[in-house]
């Protein structure tokens, strides 16, 4: 088996020693090549080249952003049966995709699981989400593995990226503080979104829209945040949208999500599970994020489900 290990040396929990242990362990089982990323998009380019060169396995070692890039590189030419397997060894701060797959979030334990999967030939087909967006001078076509959204969550991602560019390290505390700041900023001019799902009239005056490809939506430290608990890699997309962003409404849902295992309900809440697509339009440009990566402003975006688009070693 030919394998490519794609390492993001800037990821939160990635270290040179850990990379060397991982590479040594993999090299005992496969013919291994290693790429360390040094620019945005490098992981995607390396994974796309691995497809062209006929690799059997591409392993992403980094955070969810690295995994997302590798997935987009593998699928650059579209989903088809002969694509390489994806392997994941977490090295970031949240590692949502790995957690949703039931993989260990500890890199050493995840390496052992990957070696077992290689030895026994175990894998799983997973559905992915795909984003097509337009407006505000930006057009994007991007796969996502666990979540995407427009509005508040994307503003949080933008704020965290800005802080990280100044040398701050990503942490649950940084996300929480940025979320609070972003909330009060957007209350001055809340976006008005129109949301469409299959077989229903359009929903007007929506203030935020989160789309899930699996459960959980994310992690806050070790706490799983579960917006759509019935959503999984075996079905369609989940939608969590709010009509109101008043402080009592937001506090009620935040408290519920932090204190329970999810399944929130309420008059202001629009929730759907296992839908084929979610279409969102806005009169004014709003930020868009996929898998915690900021894509930028848009006025139109469609999230679609791609069943069984990828095979993951598990």
- Looking at residue 17, its pLDDT comes to 87
- Looking at residue 79, its pLDDT comes to 93
Domain boundary among 121, 141, 172: 121
Residue 314 counted as domain residue: no
Residue 204 counted as domain residue: yes
Question: Are 195 and 219 within one domain?
Answer: yes
190: pLDDT confidence band, cut at 50, 70 and 90? low
Question: Are 39 and 93 within one domain?
Answer: yes
Average pLDDT of the residues in 202-220: 93
Question: Are 175 and 265 within one domain?
Answer: yes
Please tell me whether residue 251 adopts helix, strand or coil conformation. helix
- Looking at residue 223, its pLDDT comes to 87
Burial of 113 (0-12, 13-18, 19+ CB in 10 A): buried
The pTM for the full model equals 0.92
Question: Are 112 and 182 within one domain?
Answer: no
The CATH number assigned to the domain holding 51 equals 3.40.50.10330
Residue linked to tokens 């949240």: 94
Q: What are phi and psi of 156, to 5 degrees?
A: -65, -45
What is the number of alpha carbons within 13 Å of residue 241 lying toward its C-beta?
29
How many separate domains does the chain show? 2
- Looking at residue 75, its pLDDT comes to 98
The CATH number assigned to the domain holding 157 equals 2.60.200.40
Range of the domain at 173: 128-309
Question: Are 161 and 52 within one domain?
Answer: no
Backbone dihedral region of 123: left (phi > 0), alpha (psi from -120 to 50 degrees) or beta? beta
Question: Are 223 and 177 within one domain?
Answer: yes
Question: What would the DSSP string read from start to end of 16-38?
Answer: HHHHHHHHHHHHTTSEEEEEE--
Question: Are 63 and 171 within one domain?
Answer: no
- Dump pLDDT digits (tens) for 69-119: 999 999 999 999 999 999 999 998 889 999 999 999 899 999 999 999 999
pLDDT at 52 over 70: yes
pLDDT at 188 over 80: no
Domain boundary among 121, 156, 191: 121
């Amino acid at each position: 088996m030919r394998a490519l290990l794609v390492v993001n040396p800037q990821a939160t929990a990635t270290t040179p020693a850990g990379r060397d242990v991982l590479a040594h362990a993999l090299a005992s089982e496969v013919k291994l090549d290693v790429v360390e990323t040094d620019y945005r998009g490098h992981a995607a380019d390396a994974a796309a080249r691995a497809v062209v060169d006929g690799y059997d396995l591409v392993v992403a070692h980094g955070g969810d952003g690295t995994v997302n890039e590798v997935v987009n590189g593998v699928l650059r030419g579209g989903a088809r049966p002969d694509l390489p397997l994806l392997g994941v060894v977490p090295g970031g701060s949240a590692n949502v995709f790995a957690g949703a797959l039931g993989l260990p979030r500890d890199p050493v334990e995840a390496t052992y699981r990957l070696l077992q999967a290689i030895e026994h030939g175990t894998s799983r087909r997973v559905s992915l989400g795909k984003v097509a967006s337009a407006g505000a001078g930006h057009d994007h076509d991007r796969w996502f593995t666990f979540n995407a959204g427009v509005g508040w969550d994307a503003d949080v991602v933008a704020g965290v990226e800005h802080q990280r560019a100044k040398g701050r390290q990503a942490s649950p505390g940084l996300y929480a503080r940025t979320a609070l700041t972003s909330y009060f900023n957007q209350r001055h001019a809340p976006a008005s979104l129109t949301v469409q799902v299959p077989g229903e009239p359009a929903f007007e005056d929506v203030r935020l829209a989160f789309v899930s490809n699996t459960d959980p939506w994310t992690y806050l430290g070790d706490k799983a945040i579960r917006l759509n608990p019935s959503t999984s890699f075996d079905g369609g997309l989940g939608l969590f949208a709010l009509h109101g962003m008043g402080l009592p409404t937001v506090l009620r849902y935040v408290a519920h999500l932090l204190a329970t295992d999810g399944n929130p309900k309420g008059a202001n809440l629009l929730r759907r599970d296992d839908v084929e697509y979610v279409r969102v339009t806005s009169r004014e440009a709003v930020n868009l994020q996929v898998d915690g990566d900021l894509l930028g402003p848009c006025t139109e975006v469609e999230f679609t489900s791609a069943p069984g688009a990828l095979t993951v070693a598990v």
